[in-house]
Amino acid sequence: MVVELVSVGTEILMGNIVNTNAAYLAEQCTALGLLCYYQTTVGDNEKRLLETVQTAMKRADLVILSGGLGPTKDDITKEVCAKACGRKLVMDGASRVAIEKYFEKMGKEPTENNWKQAQVPEKSIVLPNPNGTAPGLIIEDEATLILLPGPPNELIPMFQNSVLPYLQGKQEAVMISQTVKLVGVGESSVATAIDDLFDGQSNPTIATYAKTGEVHLRVTAKAEDEKKARKLLKPMVKELKERFNEHIYTTDNDVSLEQSLVELLVNNQLTVSTVESCTGGLLAGRLINVSGVSEVFKMGHITYSNKAKRKIIGVKRSTLEKYGAVSEQVARQMAKGCCMLAKSDVAVSVTGIAGPEGGTEQKPVGLVYIGCCIKGKTRTKKYQFTGNRRKIRESAVAAALVLMRECILEYIAEMAFGDKK
Amino acid sequence: MVVELVSVGTEILMGNIVNTNAAYLAEQCTALGLLCYYQTTVGDNEKRLLETVQTAMKRADLVILSGGLGPTKDDITKEVCAKACGRKLVMDGASRVAIEKYFEKMGKEPTENNWKQAQVPEKSIVLPNPNGTAPGLIIEDEATLILLPGPPNELIPMFQNSVLPYLQGKQEAVMISQTVKLVGVGESSVATAIDDLFDGQSNPTIATYAKTGEVHLRVTAKAEDEKKARKLLKPMVKELKERFNEHIYTTDNDVSLEQSLVELLVNNQLTVSTVESCTGGLLAGRLINVSGVSEVFKMGHITYSNKAKRKIIGVKRSTLEKYGAVSEQVARQMAKGCCMLAKSDVAVSVTGIAGPEGGTEQKPVGLVYIGCCIKGKTRTKKYQFTGNRRKIRESAVAAALVLMRECILEYIAEMAFGDKK
């Protein structure tokens, strides 16, 4: 079954917001084995939206639209889709009551434009929206149209609770992907190392994706059922495992680098703490996005100023004066000091120049030192990142996670070797 | 001039990555006064990509493509665009040398597939890529095609350094937007409060955008030059200022909430520190994304565990035992303790349950307490957020910034009042 995504909103066309809904819907559709050939974004303009919906209805079996269901006058998705299918709008009693209840719960009064949201095209399936006032809609016509609200915190639960069960009954083939996630190796080298695997590929297929500090290899197989698809995937994933070995941190689609790290810490009963300068909390923020991190995360510190580095973490004044805050020596003392303060097994430190100000010829913007102390042994590494402030900070966080992983694996290997002696 | 954006990549269609390039390019084009009616994403498939390029060339004067210029075999954007314009590919000497130099700088050897990247359509303008191996291209044909590499850290500098100067010479009209950014008021209420302004709108136009914890009102005017466009904007922005008053934190497109807060702190010579539990560094991370924050940011702490709350910040064991870590009382002690430890004028604390585990009937997932201590006076507030772990944490960070802003404005008002006495 072929699906097409249509995102509606002048705010996307004008670049005010990033279209995360399309990524979410695309991923969900892929997981369902649906084939997606086009994603289109179009504004809140009747003529162009109608044309887009009509084209999509010709090209695909299923068209998922997001956005333009809000209470304001420029929200016209529902009206245009009703027109594309030649249907009238009627008042939906249940939606009217749901809107009343929603406002009651929020302790607010509905405004006149909220009632527009209870109007639905005749003979459509109404999807409840517990997180907002715009109900979703399914219109079964030449192609099936699914209309979802734009805000992700309304769209995602509605997709999970209403659309997913609806679509699961309509599958023809199963398409399954497995992602082999690599660190410590570049995209070009990865591409060269698997070039021969591309030549014969048809099922499974393989694709490379560059992420900040990571390369992902996505292997996708298509078959009539999940079991057969998994059987097709297996030898290719095995081949990749042999080729990339220790660079692979997971072969699980849903496991992030920070998640694999937290698992590594939990499984080896190692606690961790962080001390950050230029990344200012983002490293801890990524680790703490892992549910269950509380078992191993002891504490984190953001020592942006030199004073905080001295006062909280115990970096020596003389070291700061002699080498500067962005130096191998300070990164080392930060990691060591953090281990001692937090009484953690592992501590990671980051100090660098995220810019745009603060760079010099000797220490340009993008220079970052990362330290990792594990059971008293400290390793540091120097990096030179490019991009704007945000990109440099993201790269530094990714690099810190990668260095931390290397140090932990090294430590585990040493311990295993020590036990054998 | 009408522009159309075409993003090329199966990884976008399959939802592996979020299309941030489209948002960036759309914003840049809008700023240039270009009109964008469609954004399309299509995979690395020759037939569909060719059709998409041909359709876009009919609908628009300018087509900007991103992605599919990489070294791997599935990268076909350049080849397809050459075909759409009926041009041959020829080896570009300068690009070949640039690729050699790039690899020399990286201390690596180019692989065979890198040379494919030095092939360009005849009579095209080659755009240098200092951050990667794929040069960009401008092909002037019935419509002008601009081909950019997919990685944002290559695309953005190339757009800034090569595409922007090229396009600036081609403008017909100037379109200028100004964004009035609000906090502490919901999207529906905002829509109702400006409903009358929508009716007559044509130039300037006005549009509302809901962000996490914020509502943005974008006013856009079109005129033959910048001065005339600004003159059209002015009365509408003034009207919005009168209607929303203290809810407005900025009317500057480029100023984020954290940036306006850092300015507020700097202008009032107030230093700040943070202590976070469930947000785990993200609040500090947002503040530290502001260049120049070092003037006011003293230190931050991530006290995820109860022990860290006691040991670092001095939350009382009895308070933790009596009320639990997620409570108004603990948020208060965290904010106060953080002020004392950091010797800062302001301290913000966050404690909550980000889930998916850890919720109870009395304290469900999404419950968050935020405290703000300013010169010894502490205010706390209770929130109930919805969504997944990430969304709850983002909402909590936004709410912490909003509460911090309210407390600082209140403090400033009190001081001004005190001075008058």
Least confident of A16-25, A230-239, B53-62, B173-182: B173-182
Alpha-carbon distance of B88 to B72, in angstroms, equals 20
- Which two structure tokens, joined as six digits, stand for B342? 């950091």
Mean pLDDT (chain B, rounded): 91
For Cα atoms B65, B67, B72, give the angle at the middle one, nearest 5 degrees.
140
Give φ, ψ of A29 to 5 degrees: -65, -40
Residue B12 to chain A, least CA–CA distance (Å) = 7
Among positive and negative, which fits the CA dihedral A279, A281, A284, A285?
Answer: negative
DSSP string for B60-82 = -SEEEEES--SSSTT--HHHHHH
Alpha-carbon distance of A193 to A189, in angstroms, equals 6
Whether residues B30 and A14 touch (CB distance < 8 A) is answered with: yes
B130 or B341, which is more confident: B341
Report the candidate in A387, A385, A358, A391 with the shortest Cα–Cα distance to residue A369: A385
Question: Looking at the complex, does the CB of residue A265 fall below 8 Å from at least one CB of chain B?
Answer: no
Question: Looking at the complex, does the CB of residue B189 fall below 8 Å from at least one CB of chain A?
Answer: yes
Residue A134 to chain B, least CA–CA distance (Å) = 12
Whether residues A19 and B17 touch (CB distance < 8 A) is answered with: no
With a cut of 80, say whether residue B198 has pLDDT above it: no
Average pLDDT over residues B147-154: 92
A residues 369..388 contacting B (CB < 8 A): 386-388
Residue B45 to chain A, least CA–CA distance (Å) = 9
Question: Looking at the complex, does the CB of residue B333 fall below 8 Å from at least one CB of chain A?
Answer: no
Give the pLDDT score at A418. 73
Sequence-separated (6 or more) residues with CB below 8 Å from residue B160: none
With a cut of 70, say whether residue B388 has pLDDT above it: yes
Question: Looking at the complex, does the CB of residue B70 fall below 8 Å from at least one CB of chain A?
Answer: yes
Pick B48's closest partner by Cβ from A10, A37, A189: A37
Average pLDDT over residues A290-304: 93
pTM of the prediction? 0.78
Residue B280 to chain A, least CA–CA distance (Å) = 5
Average pLDDT over residues A271-298: 94
> 3-state DSSP call for residue A330?
helix
Residue-level length of chain A: 421
- Which two structure tokens, joined as six digits, stand for B414? 């009190």
Whether residues A14 and B20 touch (CB distance < 8 A) is answered with: no
| Alpha-carbon separation of residue A291 from B13, B246, B353 (angstroms) | 29, 37, 11
pLDDT per residue over A361-418, tens digit each? Answer: 999 999 999 999 999 999 999 999 987 888 899 999 999 999 999 999 999 999 888 7
Residue A418 to chain B, least CA–CA distance (Å) = 33
Alpha-carbon distance of A400 to A380, in angstroms, equals 10
Scanning A179-274, the segments in alpha helix (DSSP H) are: 187-193, 195-199, 226-244, 257-267
Beta bridge partners of B6: B40, B65
DSSP A86: T
pLDDT per residue over B28-43, tens digit each? Answer: 898 787 889 999 999 9
Please name the residue of chain A whose CA is at the shortest distance from the CA of residue B130: A386
For Cα atoms B72, B77, B79, give the angle at the middle one, nearest 5 degrees.
90
Taking the CA atoms of chain A, what radius of gyration do you get in angstroms? 26
With a cut of 80, say whether residue A201 has pLDDT above it: no
To which residue do tokens 């992902």 refer?
Answer: A216
For Cα atoms A408, A411, A417, give the angle at the middle one, nearest 5 degrees.
145
Whether residues A216 and B112 touch (CB distance < 8 A) is answered with: no
Taking the CA atoms of chain B, what radius of gyration do you get in angstroms? 26
pLDDT per residue over A304-355, tens digit each? Answer: 899 999 999 999 999 999 999 999 999 999 999 999 999 999 999 999 999 8
Report the candidate in A33, A22, A30 with the shortest Cα–Cα distance to residue A66: A22
With a cut of 70, say whether residue B419 has pLDDT above it: no
Question: Looking at the complex, does the CB of residue A151 fall below 8 Å from at least one CB of chain B?
Answer: yes
Average pLDDT over residues B336-355: 96
Residues B182-202 as b or e (16 or more Cβ within 10 Å = b) = bbbeebbebbbebeebeeebe
Give the pLDDT score at B420. 53
Q: B421: pLDDT confidence band, cut at 50, 70 and 90?
A: very low
Q: B316: pLDDT confidence band, cut at 50, 70 and 90?
A: very high
Q: Which of B27, B37, B195, B279 to mutate to test the interface with A (most CBs of A within 10 A)?
A: B37
Q: B144: pLDDT confidence band, cut at 50, 70 and 90?
A: very high
pLDDT per residue over B394-413, tens digit each? Answer: 999 999 999 999 999 999 99
Give the pLDDT score at B397. 97
Alpha-carbon distance of B276 to B258, in angstroms, equals 16
- Which two structure tokens, joined as six digits, stand for B271? 């230093």
pLDDT per residue over A118-163, tens digit each? Answer: 899 999 999 998 888 889 999 999 999 999 999 888 999 999 999 9
* Pairing of the two strands A367-374 and A377-384: antiparallel
Least confident of A174-183, A397-406, B240-249: A174-183
Indicate the residue type of B123. K
- Evaluate whether B4 touches A52 at the Cβ level (below 8 Å): no
Average pLDDT over residues B6-22: 91
- Evaluate whether A325 touches A306 at the Cβ level (below 8 Å): yes
Q: A421: pLDDT confidence band, cut at 50, 70 and 90?
A: very low
Pick A281's closest partner by Cβ from B111, B281, B388: B281
Burial of B23 (0-12, 13-18, 19+ CB in 10 A): buried
* Pairing of the two strands B136-140 and B144-148: antiparallel
Residues of chain A found within 8 Å of residue B353, distances taken between Cβ atoms: none
Alpha-carbon distance of A209 to B366, in angstroms, equals 33
Residue B159 to chain A, least CA–CA distance (Å) = 13
Whether residues B207 and A11 touch (CB distance < 8 A) is answered with: yes
pLDDT per residue over B157-166, tens digit each? Answer: 999 999 988 9
A11 or A13, which is more confident: A13
Please name the residue of chain B whose CA is at the shortest distance from the CA of residue A109: B189
Secondary structure string (H, E, C) spanning B267-325: HCCCCEEEEECCCCCHHHHHHHCCCCHHHCEEEEEECCCHHHHHHHHCCCHHHHHHHCC
Question: Looking at the complex, does the CB of residue A185 fall below 8 Å from at least one CB of chain B?
Answer: no
- Evaluate whether B217 touches B206 at the Cβ level (below 8 Å): yes
Alpha-carbon distance of A89 to A68, in angstroms, equals 16
Average pLDDT over residues A102-119: 81
Greatest alpha-carbon span in chain A: 81
DSSP A386: -
A176 or B397, which is more confident: B397
With a cut of 90, say whether residue B288 has pLDDT above it: yes
Q: Which of B49, B153, B395 to mutate to test the interface with A (most CBs of A within 10 A)?
A: B153
- Which two structure tokens, joined as six digits, stand for A298? 């002891």
Question: Looking at the complex, does the CB of residue A274 fall below 8 Å from at least one CB of chain B?
Answer: yes
